[in-house]
With several copies, the nearest count.
Chain A
Amino acid sequence: MAFKHIIDVDRCKGCGLCVVICPKNVLEISDKVNSKGYFPAYQARPEDCIYCTKCCIMCPDVAITIIEEGKESAA
């Protein structure tokens, strides 16, 4: 199965909790400010991602979505 890992740049507050929690060290904080003045997280090494959802579980701002490729959100 193929998954897609999406970070909603404008929801992200750049808290960095996903960065420290990621077991594969995939994520980093960007140096581009978002519309609210935060520096959001992004997948610096997407190839390492194992789609474990830890970052989603951790993110206080529900900024991360992982979906199965091809299956778009039903909601």
Chain B
Amino acid sequence: MQSEVMFAGFGGQGILMCGKVLAHAALEEGHEVVWIPSYGPEMRGGTAYCLVMISDKPIGSPVVRNPSHLVAMNRPSLEKFASVVKSAGIVLINSSLISIDAGRTDVDVIKVPVTSIAKELGSVRAANIVALGAFVARSKIVGFDTLRHCVHEEFVNKNNFLSLNLNALEEGKKAVEMPAEK
């Protein structure tokens, strides 16, 4: 089994790191994993995305036309990628910044106001981890404990951000464990 998760948003929203934490968690659980960034020209304010591939067998093509899931942190990302997600996949929408819909009925759309949640926690910079928490809680693609451990590892040396992000993770989880707004 192989699944691919696409994280996408503005540059600066912590998209790449978000994917990295998920990839790390998958590795910890013994999966094969590949993390692929967009590394467009250093044009500021562009869109950034990354793809995390998780599998039980060695991973062949790192190029995927149809990812299993999408975490869309801003509107252009949703517009660009919503249509390519595989049927039955998850599409997580950052409803704080995105007012439109995924335009798909064959996928599991979850809207979570991750930016607002993060703002309430103290910093919009934690929005990515809110989204990650929400996505993993819904997809169960990795164990939540493993994920928590990996978030801890990621931030343990950035002291002022550790508890913020651990909280963000839990808040993300909570957000999808409540009936998601549809």
Contact of B97 among A33, A36, A38 (CB under 8 A): A33
Nearest-CB residue, chain A, relative to B46: A36
Size class of the A contact interface (CB-based, 8 Å):
under 10
* CB-contacts of A4-28 with B (<8 A): 13
B97–A13 touching, CB < 8 Å: no
How far, in whole Å, are A54 and B45 apart by their CA atoms in the complex?
26
Least CB separation from A38: chain B residue: B45
A70 within 8 A of B: no
Closest to B97 in A: A33
Question: A33 to B45, alpha carbons, bound, how many Å?
Answer: 13
Q: Which residues of A contact B97 (CB under 8 A)?
A: 33
In this complex, what residue of A is CB-closest to B76?
A37
Interface positions, chain B 11-53, Cβ under 8 Å from A, are 45
Q: What is the distance, in angstroms, from B123's C-beta to the closest C-beta of chain A? A: 16
Point out the residues of chain B lying under 8 angstroms from A37, CB to CB. Answer: 10, 45, 74
Cβ–Cβ < 8 Å partners of A38 in chain B: 45
Which partner residue on chain A sits nearest B44 by CB separation? Answer: A13
- In the docked arrangement, what's the CA distance between A30 and B82, Å? 30
Residues of B within 8 Å of A36, CB to CB, are 45
Q: Quick one: closest A residue to B45, CB to CB?
A: A36
Q: How far is the CB of B128 from chain A (nearest CB, A)?
A: 15
Residue of B nearest to A36 (CB): B45
Of chain B, the residue at the smallest CB distance from A13 is B45
Give the CA-CA distance A36 to B97 in the complex, in Å.
12
Mark contacts of A33-44 with chain B using CB atoms, 8 A cut-off: 1 yes-contact digit, 0 otherwise.
100111000000
Q: Chain A's nearest CB lies how many Å from the CB of B20?
A: 22
Chain A neighbourhood of B74, CB < 8 A? 37
How many angstroms between the C-alpha atoms of A38 and B97 in the bound complex? 12
Select the residue from A13, A37, A38 with max chain B CB neighbours within 10 A.
Answer: A37
CB distance from A3 to the nearest CB of B (A): 31
- Quick one: CB contact mask for B65-103 with A, threshold 8 Å, 1 for yes? 000000000100000000000000000000001000000
CB-CB < 8 A to A33: which residues of B? 97
Give the A-binding residues of B (Cβ under 8 A): 10, 45, 74, 97
| Interface positions of A (Cβ within 8 A of B) | 13, 33, 36-38
Instruction: Offer 6 A-B interface pairs, CB within 8 angstroms, sorted by A.
Output: A13-B45, A33-B97, A36-B45, A37-B10, A37-B45, A38-B45
